[in-house]
Structure 1
Amino acid sequence: MRRRPLHMSGEALDALRSALVELRTELKIPSAFPRRVLKAADTAAAHPDLAHEDATHLPFFTIDPSTSKDLDQAMHLERRSGGGFRVYYAIADVAAFVRPGSPLDMEARDRVETLYFPDLKVPLHPPVLSEDAASLLPYKDRPALLWQHDLDADGNVTASTVTRAMICSRAKFSYQGVQQDIENGTAEESVALLREIGKLRENVEITRGGISVHLPNQEVALHDGSFRLSYAATLPVEGWNEQISLLTGMAAAQIMIDSGTGILRTQKEQDDPHVVRRLHGIAECLGIAWDPGVSYAALVRTLDPKNQRHMAFLTEATTTMPKAEYTVFRDHRTPEHTMHAAIAAPYAHCTAPLRRLVDRYTGALCVAACADEDPPKWVLDALHCLPCDMARGKGGAADRQTVDLAEAAVLMHRVGEEFDAAVIDTDAEWDRPHNGKVYLADPAVLAKVTSTSGQDLCLGASVRARLERAAPSSDVDKVLFTVP
């Protein structure tokens, strides 16, 4: 499941900026790049490694939020003669700029990933690369890893390969603009095909048993001195676009498995009966019908993230599912478990190298495999460290604590009030039955709760929860409820 983006109005940002600064300080987020790294970035931008084929004749386009400048992916879609489709998917070739062992490389290994906050972005690479020389900006020749996927008429992949190529994007589109053009029938064919191919791939995903969930965007605004929380549903085009990325990640995983060396994103199925019962209990207390024999994946496909109760279930359920991991292998010693349970296929991160460290390595492995060459030494030297490197990433913590901060702001003027709530989680399995989580329908908030009477919290119970704390600047439990 994708993280839930959080947006704030200008007024809300002004009011919460100091709390956001405190949050970054607490997480030890770097505020700037060292001078030696900036100097190395300037040199790399001026002297990239351009041993690439020429594919600048293909009219690529990008789809991103309208303000984005770090453009990792560009695509060109076309019908194949005789039926089916061809997907050209270009991924920014960061390895053309970042030399192994260089200050850029070492800094990226420290940062691991780009971090997103409502007021700013903390990039993985200096902006001269991530937002300029390495970004797939329109009307700029750029080095890329060019994937070619052939699909049949039903959207099934029949062949995939990747090579290094120079490409030139012809247009930078926004999600809203593409959605409107497709619905109005004014999109050019390559863009319009995104809907057709995206829907076919969604059907393939269902047949495969995979799950794609797009939680709505959280939006925080300040009105008359009070914060307000609202939700905006994602657009269909965002799901279709994601299907192209998922397709590529699955192709990359299979290429690495076949070649005998790689790094996969793996996740095991949830088979703990206690956890499964707990998920059923959470669904029941939120009024979600989950019939016996229906799988978790099948249930999720019936839920609407715009429904606040459904969103609460999806948000909480992700915390009980097995954690996805990075799994490294080489010399044809393929691991026993290669699947990603939510995707229902082997999968690898490879489509966001401007924003995620590991993608630079998976891309290089796939290019070498498709060229029938040995894996690059710089990849093999770093391969065994990559899972630990990625585990140091702070994106998850930054996202969670930013959401906690926003929810605390929404509730900060209501401390002492009581709310109708449902207990959707307890810590009974850790011998802490007095602690858990409650779901509020209005505002739609998930928060910690503790019983002050000594009575155990019961999963699914409807309670009157008193707001004891709502402090955006608190370093622990920014929002806390009690049940007397």
Structure 2
Amino acid sequence: MQRKLSAPALDFDAIRTELGIAEDYGADALAEAEHPVDRFADDRADHTDIPLVTIDPPTSMDLDQAVRIDTDGDGFVVDYAIADVAALVVPEGPLDQESRRRGATIYFPDRSVPLHPRALSEGAGSLLPEQIRPAVLWTIRVSADGLPTDVRVRRARVRSVARLDYVGVSADADAGTLHPSIAALPDFGILRERVGLERGAVELELPEQEVVRDRDGAWTVRQAPRTPADAWNSQLSLLTGMSAGQIMADAGVGVLRTLPPASSQALADLRAVVAGLGITWPAEQGVGVFLAGLPHDDPTTLAVMSAAGALLRGADYLALGVDGQPMPDDPDRLRHAAIGGVYAHVTAPLRRLGDRFATEVCLAVISGAAVPDWVTRAVPTLPAVLRSADSLGATADRRSVDLAESVILADRVGERFDAVVVRPATDKRDAQVFLGEPAVIAPCAGNPPQGVPVSVVLESVDPVAGKVAFRLADS
């Protein structure tokens, strides 16, 4: 029986304090967020007639994206509205400077600490239902073979007509009752997933832990649910991000999200793991297609996915058009290997700093205008800010999960649990195991075989340090 603790037992405030994360934006930045002015109000096309819908977690208020997708012969036409944060933030003003200091929204189980004050991120800038909002509207035509054939980007006024969530969209798809604005989403998502595998995309389906409250208000650690709608919706952002990345790469200015190709040694190591687990991997089959074909309910799949993480190391940001520097000679330096193409973040400007600037580059390039000076001045500084924000967000997430694991398991030392070994032991570290209930990932002493179910005993818990450790149970 899993022990659940009331909210006061998990002190996320202490983590926020230690990491220096707070909702103190300063009076000037806060005033700007509370009284935003649309700097491009007179330049917007009125597209409030497009019945856009948002798809987000049910508790989210910072709604960056709204979509309508239709069939277009054998292909699709996607209208994707993105919150126009740049129109509401004065360039190089107090709010802009504060957001550059932060870099991103940081998430904790009890609440987020937003990139922008909530008056903007959850109010005037958010694409809330039945509200007319400033947006950047992408219209992308996709052919029957899943490739974009035409991309338009412009400023617009939009209105979302419905607020949907992933679980509800998936259920509606199963029931055949999808909202008309996204009736084509499943077919679009499946097509784009197939095209992604063909171009070499790699998707790791590792268990994602989340700390949540149950219906009684008690905390627990569970495996985050992943619905088909999550995957379909991610293809909308990928399509838009790849279109934006290509626009900036062609123009030689902007910020790309990059990932180097996996080394031959990393691929050889993964093949050795796969062979050791008794799994057949045809020599001619690409890694992305191989991983996508693994059975979801087989414990060896967890081990393979964990080992495949070594292929995806080195993600970074690349600023283009910096101080007259030439474009990289190696095209791989522009690409994101796991996506299989050039890619940029543009679809979450309420939550990520770089999206605002990348979007401005795309608007300028598509319209034939010069990229604004305030954007070109910022571009060289963005990679360092974005790297720091990513690191801080990952630390906040890991610390929160570690704390929850240790507190929830505090009085269960000596108990046995069923687990799967996702990483073998080495000379420098213990093996790593995954428990399904509660959803804990932790070190395990001994030398258990990788990719098989085992029985483990909780050896120690340190709630202060946020650490738990297991050992193999005696047979």
Return the TM-score normalized by structure 2: 0.86
Deviation of 1:281 after TM superposition, in Å, equals: 5.2
Q: Does the 8 A contact of 2:61 with 2:122 survive in 1?
A: yes
Aligned to 1:159: 150
Give the Cα separation in 2 of the matches to 1:372 and 1:202: 32
Give the Cα separation in 2 of the matches to 1:347 and 1:442: 34
Give the Cα separation in 1 of the matches to 2:189 and 2:17: 41
Q: Does the 8 A contact of 2:423 with 2:433 survive in 1?
A: yes
Aligned to 1:96, which of 87, 112, 118?
87
SS at match of 2:137: strand
Name the CA shift for 1:368/1:276 in 2 (closer, same or farther; >3 Å): same
Q: Does the 8 A contact of 1:214 with 1:239 survive in 2?
A: no
SS at match of 1:349: coil
Give the Cα separation in 2 of the matches to 1:183 and 1:467: 40
Give the Cα separation in 1 of the matches to 2:362 and 2:137: 11
RMSD, aligned α-carbons: 3.2
Q: Which amino acid aligns with 2:373?
A: K
Aligned to 2:373, which of 374, 377, 382?
377
Give the Cα separation in 2 of the matches to 1:401 and 1:474: 9
Q: Which amino acid aligns with 2:357?
A: Y
Give the Cα separation in 2 of the matches to 1:10 and 1:468: 17
Q: Does the 8 A contact of 1:405 with 1:471 survive in 2?
A: no
Q: Which amino acid aligns with 2:423?
A: I
Aligned to 1:296, which of 279, 287, 292?
287
Give the Cα separation in 2 of the matches to 1:84 and 1:403: 42
Name the CA shift for 1:49/1:243 in 2 (closer, same or farther; >3 Å): same
Deviation of 1:79 after TM superposition, in Å, equals: 2.7
Give the Cα separation in 1 of the matches to 2:147 and 2:463: 48
Tell me, which stretches of 5 or more residues in structure 1 are unaligned?
Answer: 1-8, 428-432, 452-456
Aligned to 1:339: 335
Aligned to 2:362: 366
Deviation of 1:195 after TM superposition, in Å, equals: 1.2
SS at match of 2:25: coil
Deviation of 1:77 after TM superposition, in Å, equals: 1.4
Name the CA shift for 1:320/1:413 in 2 (closer, same or farther; >3 Å): farther
Aligned to 2:10: 17
Name the CA shift for 1:216/1:446 in 2 (closer, same or farther; >3 Å): closer
Aligned to 1:185: 176
Deviation of 1:289 after TM superposition, in Å, equals: 1.6
Is 2:461 the partner of 1:479?
Answer: no
Give the Cα separation in 2 of the matches to 1:157 and 1:93: 23
Q: Does the 8 A contact of 1:423 with 1:458 survive in 2?
A: no
SS at match of 1:149: strand
Aligned to 1:211, which of 199, 202, 211?
202
Name the CA shift for 1:276/1:63 in 2 (closer, same or farther; >3 Å): same
User: Where does 1:258-277 land on structure 2 (aligned, <5 Å)?
Assistant: 258-273=250-265, 275-277=266-268
SS at match of 1:241: helix
Name the CA shift for 1:367/1:262 in 2 (closer, same or farther; >3 Å): same
Deviation of 1:436 after TM superposition, in Å, equals: 3.2
Aligned to 2:97, which of 93, 102, 106?
106
Deviation of 1:414 after TM superposition, in Å, equals: 3.1
SS at match of 1:385: helix
Q: Which amino acid aligns with 1:168?
A: R
With 413-422 and 174-183 compared, the bigger mean Cα shift is at 413-422
Q: Does the 8 A contact of 2:170 with 2:229 survive in 1?
A: yes
Give the Cα separation in 1 of the matches to 2:383 and 2:250: 21
Q: Which amino acid aligns with 2:170?
A: Q
Q: Does the 8 A contact of 2:302 with 2:422 survive in 1?
A: no
Is 2:427 the partner of 1:424?
Answer: no
Aligned to 2:164: 173
Is 2:460 the partner of 1:469?
Answer: yes
CA displacement 1:123-154 (0-9 Å, x = unmatched): 11001110110111111111111101011123
Return the TM-score normalized by structure 1: 0.85
Q: Does the 8 A contact of 2:205 with 2:305 survive in 1?
A: no
Give the Cα separation in 2 of the matches to 1:292 and 1:468: 41
CA displacement 1:57-115 (0-9 Å, x = unmatched): 211111111221111001111233x5422111111110011122211111111111111
Name the CA shift for 1:313/1:411 in 2 (closer, same or farther; >3 Å): farther
SS at match of 1:251: helix
Aligned to 2:405: 407
Name the CA shift for 1:223/1:242 in 2 (closer, same or farther; >3 Å): closer
SS at match of 1:412: coil
Give the Cα separation in 1 of the matches to 2:49 and 2:204: 35
Name the CA shift for 1:469/1:284 in 2 (closer, same or farther; >3 Å): farther
Tell me, which stretches of 5 or more residues in structure 2 are unaligned?
Answer: none
Is 2:244 the partner of 1:252?
Answer: yes
Aligned to 1:436, which of 416, 430, 441?
430
Give the Cα separation in 1 of the matches to 2:147 and 2:231: 17
Deviation of 1:261 after TM superposition, in Å, equals: 1.0
SS at match of 2:410: helix
Give the Cα separation in 1 of the matches to 2:187 and 2:109: 33
Name the CA shift for 1:423/1:43 in 2 (closer, same or farther; >3 Å): closer
Aligned to 1:73: 65
Is 2:226 the partner of 1:234?
Answer: yes
Q: Does the 8 A contact of 1:261 with 1:332 survive in 2?
A: no
Is 2:144 the partner of 1:149?
Answer: no
Aligned to 2:108: 117
